Amino acid sequence: MISAYTGTQVRHAEEPLLAAGLGDVLMQRAAHGLAVAVIRELKARGLRVYGSSVAVLTGKGNNGGDGLYAAAFLAARGMRTTAILTADSAHPQALAAFERAGGRVRHLSDAAPGGLAADTARADVVIDAVLGTGAKGGLRGSAAALIAAIAEARTGSAAPGFVVACDLPSGVDADTGEVAQPVLAADLTVTFGAAKAGLLADPGADFSGRVEVVPIGIEENFERPALRRLDDGDIAALLPRPERRAHKYSRGVLGVVAGSADYPGAAVLACRGALAAGVGMVRYLGPPEVADLVRESCPEVVCSTGAAADNRVQAWLVGSGMGPGDHEQLQRARDAVESGLPVVADAGALPALPDALAPHVVLTPHAGELAALLQRLGGDEDRAAVEAGTLAAVRRAAALTGATVLLKGATTLVAAPAGGVFGQSDGTPWLATAGSGDVLAGIIGALLAQLGSDVEHFGKAGVEPGARWAAVAALGAALHGKAGRAASDACLGGPIAAGGIADSLPHVWGKVSTLSNGGIRKRNSHSQPLR
């Protein structure tokens, strides 16, 4: 599990060490980790360390201090180093160390900004050490103008080098991921002590590049993470596995209320997603013409009639491909929510549900649908506001509805009403395609049907009871992302259609399980044919 924290949490975690007089030790560890990461990245790109150029943009605080100490280390390794001091002062000891190592100092206040930006943009490595966790708001004044000019010079031209953010890209809010422009997009962010939540949530994640965490000795001092990400080991541990004597009912039945005359395909794709995600059986309820299409495409699905209450299931999927005029289907969706069973509620169901819900109801809006939901509950966020502050918006929606809320995006966020948030970024931009959300709803529905009642299962994987529905949804998002990526990889990175996500899921599922349970599989493999 990758745990991310707010800037404030990181500063609290540092406090005992600062009180013990270890501030400089922490900074040296951070700076050394930054310099090592720069060297590794240069080598990975086939560039020499000796003789390559590095420009470090520094602010007046400790973030600038990290950058200067790191640059001193790189100067000692033979790099041509320039520090651009953007403020009227700089961390004195770090600046002295940098000058002793032979680095060149330029003051933003003395230079022509255009020329300075052009020179900096040409460096093999640009380190952004202007603002860190102590920043209030974004870059200002001439520092903002310089960063904007460097970003401009790097776009469009074949900029040779790469950008490394020190702790976080300056202008990205460490707590929320909100972005105050201008921000210099990093290829790599080297962050200290722990990942910051704002690096893993959009839009901050758009500017963070790859994130590497450098331990500095504060790691034992953290409490509850602000954001968590399931890694392959967590996914393997959370995946449902059928008992030896399982039957289709014990493995979980998912009821699907989806599709309409206008969008019959959504029902098919939701069922395909569910079937690929290990459910024992799918029961479909919907208009006869849609049911015919579902039967034709997925003969495994049992098509039923009647009210939701007439059908025995372990979980429901409601809403994909439904509109406000689909009264019978919407009534089924409401009945499903009232049944007390786990429900994933998508698309057309979202505006039709009661305002007060429960954690076992998983809402799966995109940004526009989340804005509409928040407006219905008295907020004034529009789609742009949700996209500018995804973490805050998803948390707010979970708190207001009492439901688990999954916000779809490049980073899919899932907030539990009790407070925990998961953020998954396993996919590819090719997943932004019609029907992709229907497959996601199917996958989550299937997981709810299989895992819903098994509280212990989550405890073993380190997920507290209050966050288990969010963990199921995050698991679904991770599988969906990985399946989409695998489908695209199979086409050498080419585009995918939504059905391809479902098709590639069983293989992705098997691969993740095999990676983390290789030993177990190997030991038992000889017994497989006997069953």
Ligand X SMILES: NC(=O)C1=CN([C@@H]2O[C@H](COP(=O)(O)OP(=O)(O)OC[C@H]3O[C@@H](n4cnc5c(N)ncnc54)[C@H](OP(=O)(O)O)[C@@H]3O)[C@@H](O)[C@H]2O)[C@@H](O)CC1
Among 2, 3, 23, 521, binds ligand X (CB under 6 A): 23
By CB under 6 A, is residue 25 in contact with ligand X?
no
Are the CB atoms for 207 and 173 separated by under 8 Å? no
Instruction: Tell me how far, at minimum, the Cβ of 13 lies from K ion, in Å.
Output: 19
Is the alpha carbon torsion for 117, 122, 128, 129 positive or negative?
negative
Instruction: Tell me how far, at minimum, the Cβ of 227 lies from ligand X, in Å.
Output: 17
Q: With CA atoms as reference, report the closest residue to 170 among 4, 28, 59, 27.
A: 59
137 binds, among K ion, ligand X, none (CB under 5 to 8 A by kind): ligand X
Are the CB atoms for 131 and 61 separated by under 8 Å? yes
Q: Is 193 annotated as a binding residue?
A: no
Among 170, 189, 364, 412, binds K ion (CB under 5 A): 170
Phi, psi angles (nearest 5°) of residue 415: -110, 130
Among 21, 88, 110, 136, binds ligand X (CB under 6 A): 136
Tokens of 159: 């900029």
CA 180/CA 69 separation, integer angstroms? 27
CA 295/CA 33 separation, integer angstroms? 57
CA 203/CA 519 separation, integer angstroms? 40
Q: Is 63 annotated as a binding residue?
A: yes
Instruction: Tell me how far, at minimum, the Cβ of 80 lies from ligand X, in Å.
Output: 24
Among 21, 46, 110, 137, binds ligand X (CB under 6 A): 137
CA-based R_g, the chain, Å: 26
By CB under 6 A, is residue 30 in contact with ligand X?
yes
Residue (193 or 379) nearer to ligand X, CB: 193
- How many other C-beta atoms can be found within 10 angstroms of the C-beta atom of residue 462? 13
Residue (196 or 482) nearer to K ion, CB: 196
398 binds, among ligand X, K ion, none (CB under 5 to 8 A by kind): none
By CB under 6 A, is residue 117 in contact with ligand X?
no
Residue (170 or 424) nearer to K ion, CB: 170
Q: Which residues contact 133 (CB under 8 A, 6 or more apart)?
A: 7, 8, 10, 11, 63, 167, 168, 174, 196
Q: Is 62 annotated as a binding residue?
A: yes
Q: With CA atoms as reference, report the closest residue to 186 among 254, 274, 145, 125.
A: 125
Please list every residue from 147 through 166 that binds ligand X, using CB under 6 A: 166
Among 52, 53, 58, 62, binds ligand X (CB under 6 A): 62
**Residue in the structure block whose two tokens are 């002295």:** 96
- How many other C-beta atoms can be found within 10 angstroms of the C-beta atom of residue 463? 27
Tokens of 9: 């949490």
CA 351/CA 369 separation, integer angstroms? 9
135 binds, among ligand X, K ion, none (CB under 5 to 8 A by kind): ligand X
Instruction: Tell me how far, at minimum, the Cβ of 96 lies from ligand X, in Å.
Output: 16
CA 252/CA 443 separation, integer angstroms? 13
Tell me how many helices (H) and strands (E) the chain has. Answer: 20, 19
By CB under 6 A, is residue 134 in contact with ligand X?
yes
177 binds, among K ion, ligand X, none (CB under 5 to 8 A by kind): none
Q: Is 64 annotated as a binding residue?
A: yes
By CB under 6 A, is residue 217 in contact with ligand X?
no
Q: Is 319 annotated as a binding residue?
A: no
SS3 label, residue 270: helix
Contacts of 484-493 spanning 24+ positions with Cβ under 8 A: 484/427, 484/428, 484/430, 484/431, 484/436, 485/426, 485/427, 485/428, 488/428, 488/430
By CB under 5 A, is residue 274 in contact with K ion?
no
By CB under 5 A, is residue 133 in contact with K ion?
no
DSSP state of 171: T
Please tell me the count of residues contacting K ion according to CB under 5 A: 3
By CB under 6 A, is residue 214 in contact with ligand X?
no
Residue (58 or 516) nearer to K ion, CB: 58
**Residue in the structure block whose two tokens are 């060149």:** 104
Please tell me the count of residues contacting ligand X according to CB under 6 A: 27
Instruction: Tell me how far, at minimum, the Cβ of 304 lies from K ion, in Å.
Output: 57
Please list every residue from 307 through 346 that binds ligand X, using CB under 6 A: none
Q: Is 103 annotated as a binding residue?
A: no
By CB under 5 A, is residue 166 in contact with K ion?
yes
By CB under 6 A, is residue 97 in contact with ligand X?
no
CA 318/CA 283 separation, integer angstroms? 12
Q: Which residues pair with 105 in a beta bridge?
A: 83
404 binds, among ligand X, K ion, none (CB under 5 to 8 A by kind): none
Q: Is 170 annotated as a binding residue?
A: yes
Instruction: Tell me how far, at minimum, the Cβ of 180 lies from ligand X, in Å.
Output: 8
Q: With CA atoms as reference, report the closest residue to 407 among 433, 389, 434.
A: 389
- How many other C-beta atoms can be found within 10 angstroms of the C-beta atom of residue 420? 24
CA 397 to chain centroid: 18
The interface region with K ion, picked from 84-92, 162-170, 306-314, 504-512 by CB under 5 A, is 162-170
388 binds, among ligand X, K ion, none (CB under 5 to 8 A by kind): none
Q: Is 189 annotated as a binding residue?
A: no
By CB under 6 A, is residue 175 in contact with ligand X?
no
Exposed/middle/buried for residue 440 (C-beta within 10 Å: 0-12, 13-18, 19+): buried
170 binds, among ligand X, K ion, none (CB under 5 to 8 A by kind): K ion
Residues that bind K ion (CB under 5 A): 128, 166, 170
Residues that bind ligand X (CB under 6 A): 14, 18, 23, 26-27, 30, 59-64, 66, 131-140, 166-167, 192, 216
- Binding positions are 62-66, 128, 132-138, 167, 170, 266, 321, 366, 408-412, 437-438
- Binding positions for AMP are 408-412, 437
- Binding positions for (6S)-NADPHX are 62-66, 132-138, 167, 266, 321, 366, 438
